[in-house]
Amino acid sequence: MRRPVARKLAVLAVSATVVSVGAAAPPSGATSAGPAVEKVPVAVGYGGAVASVDADASAVGIEILRKGGNAVDAAVATAAALGVTEPYSNGIGGGGYFVYYDAKSRTVQTIDGRETAPLTADSGLFLENGQPIAFADAVTSGLGVGTPGTPATWQAALDSWGSKGLGTLLKPAERLARDGFTVDDTFRAQTASNEARFRYFPDTAELFLPGGALPVVGSTFKNPDLARTYAELGRKGVGALYRGKLAKEIVDTVNEPPVDPASGYNARPGELSLRDLAAYRAKRQSPSKTSYRGLGVYSMAPSSSGGTTVGEALNILERTDLSKASDVQFLHRYIEASRIAFADRGRWVGDPAFEDVPTKELLSQSYADSRGCLIKDDAVLTSPVAPGDPRNPAACNTNGVAAPTTYEGENTTHLTVADKWGNVVSYTLTIEQTGGSGITVPGRGFLLNNELTDFSFAPASPAVHDPNLPGPGKRPRSSMSPTIVLDAHNKPVVALGSPGGASIITTVLQTLTSFLDRGVPLVDAIAAPRASQRNQTTTELEPALWTSELRTKLESIGHGFRLNPEIGAATGVQRLPNGKWLAAAETVRRGGGSAMVVRPAS
């Protein structure tokens, strides 16, 4: 059932304006070494908007917008600042996906800045004696480190759509790293969860365990090494990371992890080379696209599975009037659509440079209809569900071999930006696991990713081709789902995204359907308790759903659940009438996010 949503979105715009008059950034230069910037989860106003997990980073983005920068400029500056204040989630040692809406042409374009495997890698990258190594051993090693894509992504975005130079945009983050930021509970907790493995590496311990102890909440955390690295990239360009002295330092660190001999830890060496770094390119590519309730939903096409999996699930839900469904019916349908879409993701999606990915077919309504007929209102599908064949769809087919969903690190970050001209950026970036590989490049102030652990270590099912095995220069499959939704006139309605590993897909899907179908204001749709089903035997629930009557009612028709304390940490922006923007972030997750606008509405 296709239902127009324009009237509902107009109502949401009015109600959102009433929610908050918004928050602006402090004056330029006040983002470091001074009072902590206030965190608020929703802001409404003019001149542009920024939403991220961190107030200092959002303030940097607003600073760039105030100085005449556009959304791309602000996104790069915000990302660089997050590399300072959220170093366990992202940074120049990682990668990500950049989705951009150009107001002049009313088109969406994307950059794939995913990390790549070494050119010497093959399908046995994580095998020893024919068997997969322990996941924990791969996570904290040089073996899991891919060629970073974030710096190349920044330069590609600026070359294509930016208005300011990289050096100018790195200055606020450089200042923040040099002068410091205020340690909060989340930063201390994330450090504590990594303390044991950080101590394996003296350079990491020296940086993140100052004086040999956990950072104290309320203290000022400084990273002068990162400030110098940013200054160097600002002077020389990002090519300095892919060629020359810094490139050699990265390669040496990966191939001979600087582990403390006294720790006894076996930090497996990687296989990265100067050739790998020099050959890296961020890829400009077309977005994934699907139509939903008369709107255009744009996201990342493979190598990310985000766009195809969110899109397929939306197409499955298209035939249900979710606005009239009860809470139980809504959650049931959402969970089952997620289950089916993940079944197809596991079979068909990988790096399209290596795999024949049927992107168009996965996003077709006819294929979604052939899969959606599996959903019953009074019964639950048994996971793992077998994939369908999008090139030869058969209605309600349950034949085939299912592939389980592999684990992905959950501590990514997402930022969303809009400017006064109407341009929008939705950008998700990561170093994979919380703390990445745990390995800091000596004297450089940043952690290296462990992104290659997103590959399947061995075929997920011996009976079916696995599109996500390692290969030379291959990008591991991702779930990152930076998304921009356009109306019938190709103008932005909403943009959003989230961290959370494979649960990114379900977070974006649940937030979108809550906002578009259920009429929930954006900040409330982001804050709502989440469920995440990824073709597994049980569905994850956050505590508020775990203790609710909804859980009991869903269990009565066959659902099984397990508790997850926190799923995702989304941010978004919504276009309102007359040049106004609403920025929204988390209210509680990860200590709450930060929404800001250039000029708050009165």
Tens-digit pLDDT profile for residues 169-194? 999 999 999 999 999 999 999 999 99
User: Is the pTM for the entire model greater than 0.85?
Assistant: yes
Find out whether 424 and 412 touch, Cβ atoms under 8 Å.
no
User: Measured between alpha carbons, how far is 41 from 593 in angstroms, rounded to an integer?
Assistant: 6
Identify which of 43, 35, 157, 33 has the alpha carbon closest to the alpha carbon of residue 84: 33
Residue for token pair 């009313």:
106
User: Measured between alpha carbons, how far is 46 from 48 in angstroms, rounded to an integer?
Assistant: 6
pLDDT at position 520 is 98
Residue for token pair 């019938």:
488
Residues of the chain with pLDDT under 70: 1-36, 404-410
- The per-residue DSSP string of 167-201 comes to HHHHHHHHHHHHH-EE--HHHHHHHHHHHHHHTTS
Residue for token pair 């040099």:
178
User: Measured between alpha carbons, how far is 38 from 26 in angstroms, rounded to an integer?
Assistant: 9
Find out whether 205 and 198 touch, Cβ atoms under 8 Å.
yes
Largest Cα span, the chain: 66
Instruction: Clarify whether 412 is annotated catalytic.
Output: yes
Alpha helices per DSSP H over 55-165: 55-66, 71-85, 135-139, 150-161
| The dihedral sign for the CA sequence 159, 164, 165, 171 | negative
Q: What single-letter DSSP state applies at residue 597?
A: E
User: Measured between alpha carbons, how far is 497 from 100 in angstroms, rounded to an integer?
Assistant: 13
Find out whether 497 and 416 touch, Cβ atoms under 8 Å.
yes
Q: Identify any residues that bridge with 97 across adjacent strands, giving them in sequence order.
A: 112, 428
| The dihedral sign for the CA sequence 438, 439, 444, 448 | negative
What residues have CB less than 8 Å from 254, skipping those under 6 apart?
142, 145, 269, 270, 272, 439, 448
Identify which of 446, 467, 448 has the alpha carbon closest to the alpha carbon of residue 456: 467
Query: Would you state the structure tokens that stand for residue 46, as one six-digit string?
Result: 């003019």
Q: Identify any residues that bridge with 101 across adjacent strands, giving them in sequence order.
A: 108, 424
Find out whether 199 and 218 touch, Cβ atoms under 8 Å.
no
Query: Would you state the structure tokens that stand for residue 45, as one six-digit string?
Result: 């106003």
Domain limits, the chain: 6-284+407-600
Number of neighbouring beta carbons within 10 Å of residue 290: 23
**Secondary structure (3-state) at 531:** strand
User: Measured between alpha carbons, how far is 145 from 273 in angstroms, rounded to an integer?
Assistant: 11
User: Measured between alpha carbons, how far is 220 from 180 in angstroms, rounded to an integer?
Assistant: 6
Buried b (16+ CB within 10 A) or exposed e, 215-230: beeeeebbbebbbbbb
Find out whether 5 and 516 touch, Cβ atoms under 8 Å.
yes
Alpha-carbon torsion, ordered 208, 211, 213, 217, to 10 deg: -70
- Could you tell me the fold of the domain covering 6-284+407-600? Glutamine Phosphoribosylpyrophosphate, subunit 1, domain 1 (3.60.20)
Number of neighbouring beta carbons within 10 Å of residue 263: 15
Query: Would you state the structure tokens that stand for residue 371, as one six-digit string?
Result: 């899969």
User: Measured between alpha carbons, how far is 315 from 309 in angstroms, rounded to an integer?
Assistant: 10
Query: Which residue is catalytic, options 308, 412, 511, 513?
Result: 412
Find out whether 119 and 112 touch, Cβ atoms under 8 Å.
no
pLDDT at position 38 is 84
How far does CA 190 lie from the centroid of its chain?
A: 18
The 10s digit of each residue's pLDDT in 285-325 is 999 999 999 999 999 999 999 999 999 999 999 999 999 99
- The per-residue DSSP string of 267-282 comes to -------HHHHHH---
What residues have CB less than 8 Å from 227, skipping those under 6 apart?
174, 175, 177, 178, 445
Residue type, 503: S
Identify which of 391, 309, 385 has the alpha carbon closest to the alpha carbon of residue 349: 309
Identify which of 568, 531, 533 has the alpha carbon closest to the alpha carbon of residue 550: 531
User: Measured between alpha carbons, how far is 204 from 437 in angstroms, rounded to an integer?
Assistant: 10
User: Measured between alpha carbons, how far is 246 from 269 in angstroms, rounded to an integer?
Assistant: 18
Altogether, the residues listed in the chain come to a count of 602
pLDDT at position 411 is 72
pLDDT at position 404 is 64
User: Measured between alpha carbons, how far is 277 from 291 in angstroms, rounded to an integer?
Assistant: 38
How far does CA 275 lie from the centroid of its chain?
A: 28
**Secondary structure (3-state) at 122:** coil
Find out whether 467 and 350 touch, Cβ atoms under 8 Å.
yes
Q: Environment class of residue 42 by beta-carbon count within 10 Å: exposed (0-12), middle (13-18) or buried (19+)?
A: buried
Find out whether 70 and 419 touch, Cβ atoms under 8 Å.
yes
Give how far Cα 397 sits from Cα of 320, 371, 374, 446, 533, Å: 20, 8, 8, 48, 20
Residue for token pair 């366990």:
88
